[in-house]
Amino acid sequence: MIRIEFNRLRFVVIDDNAHMRRIVRTLLHGYGAREVYEAEDGATGLEAFTHHMPDIVITDWAMPIFDGLELTQMIRQPGANANPFVPIIMLTGHSEKKRVMAARDAGVTEFLAKPLSAKGLYQRILNVVANPRPFVKTKTYFGPDRRRNSNPNYVGPERRKGGKADMFKAQALIDKTQTLGDKARSPG
């Protein structure tokens, strides 16, 4: 079992709704997070991302200046910033399949529909910390592998057809966590 050491993670929460930012911040503090930075739109969110170097970005979809998808695409530009591999959790009230697919195709790591729950947010954070997906770079996409499970023997209609794809191992956040067994054995 994995126990996340939230006090060792840095978050940036980007949402144009101050009440929603407060809810997410309160949940993160409740989990034990100490460093939670906020931004009210995509532009200040990108500035906060660049300035604070977060371990995880939590962003709304619909925001002024530029939205969560545009923000994600800017963060995912290799060479444009310090960490294009950062996990991005998208929050939105719009959970239609086409929206989920658009977020995935922009490079979002996890998707969470509003109204959010403490358990749902925790689960998404646990997923990005404990099970980081490898990153894929093709001519038209850079981001987390859009497939949750990889079966090299799969030959069905959803088989990836594109050209060569480079695979990158994402920076693991697991270093910032400990298994419960490790914690029991550690001194102090």
Q: Encoding tokens for residue 174?
A: 């697991």
pLDDT > 70? residue 98:
yes
pLDDT for 139 equals 82
Cβ–Cβ under 8 Å, residues 38 and 14: yes
More confident residue, 125 or 176: 125
Q: Which of 50-54, 74-78, 86-90, 159-163 has the lowest mean pLDDT?
A: 159-163
pLDDT for 185 equals 40
Give residue-wise pLDDT tens across range 127-186: 999 888 888 888 888 888 876 555 566 666 655 555 555 555 655 665 544 444 444 444
Domain ranges of the chain: 2-185
pLDDT for 154 equals 60
pLDDT for 181 equals 44
pLDDT for 86 equals 94
Average pLDDT over residues 50-79: 93
In the numeric block, the tokens 């996890």 are attached to: 110
pLDDT for 166 equals 56
Distances (CA, A) of 113 to 103, 154, 167: 12, 30, 29
Give residue-wise pLDDT tens across range 3-43: 889 999 999 999 999 999 999 999 999 999 999 999 999 99
pLDDT for 179 equals 42
CATH of segment(s) 2-185:
3.40.50.2300
In three state form, how does the secondary structure of 98-135 look?
Answer: HHHHHHHHHCCCEEEECCCCHHHHHHHHHHHHHCCCCE
pLDDT for 111 equals 94
How high is the mean pLDDT of the chain? 83
